[in-house]
Amino acid sequence: EVQLVESGGGLVQPGGSLRLSCVASGFTFKTYWMTWVRQPPGKGLEWVANINQDGTTKYSVDSVKGRFTISRDNVKNSLSLQMNSLRVEDTAIYYCARDFGIPGGWFDAWGQGILVTVSS
């Protein structure tokens, strides 16, 4: 069974940092793209960033460029999102998901989500 489990969320002040992790099991992690998607409370979905199988190709939405860094460890089957210079508008549930890449991919397995709250 494919499983994705996020951790590392919580409350942080504006300007602070947080590192999210996602541990994968039940599939061959190193053969898939991986993605982060976020959802502000009560709002829609926003794709944040993705990374290819060996970590050499990364894409992200403009609003997080220069602040968030996606990475992966194929030995530990883990995906990370380092979030710096956090803003109130980054408050959201963050999901990691298995991705089939760009172009033409889709997100076929999702974690349960982890809440990040940016507030003073």
Partner 1 sequence: DIQMTQSPSSLSASVGDRVTISCRSSQDINKFLNWYQQKPGKAPKLLICQVSSLQSGVPSRFSGSGSGTDFALTIGSLQPEDFATYFCQQSYTSPLTFGGGTKVEIK
Q: Which residues bind partner 1 (CB under 8 A)?
A: 35, 37, 44-47, 50, 59-62, 95, 100, 102-108, 110-113
Q: Work out how close the CB of 106 gets to partner 1 at its nearest, in angstroms, rounded to a whole number.
A: 4
- Which tokens hold the place of 32? 């898939």
> Nearer to partner 1 by C-beta: 15 or 45?
45
> Nearer to partner 1 by C-beta: 14 or 87?
87
33: left (phi over 0), alpha (psi -120 to 50) or beta: beta
Q: Work out how close the CB of 81 gets to partner 1 at its nearest, in angstroms, rounded to a whole number.
A: 15
> Nearer to partner 1 by C-beta: 45 or 88?
45
Q: Work out how close the CB of 7 gets to partner 1 at its nearest, in angstroms, rounded to a whole number.
A: 15
> Nearer to partner 1 by C-beta: 76 or 108?
108
The span from the first CA to the last CA of the chain, in angstroms, equals 40
Among 88, 90, 68, smallest CA distance to 79 is for 68
Among 3, 1, 7, smallest CA distance to 110 is for 3
Bridge partners (DSSP) listed for residue 10: 116
CA atoms of 119 and 52, how far apart (whole Å): 32
Q: Work out how close the CB of 80 gets to partner 1 at its nearest, in angstroms, rounded to a whole number.
A: 19
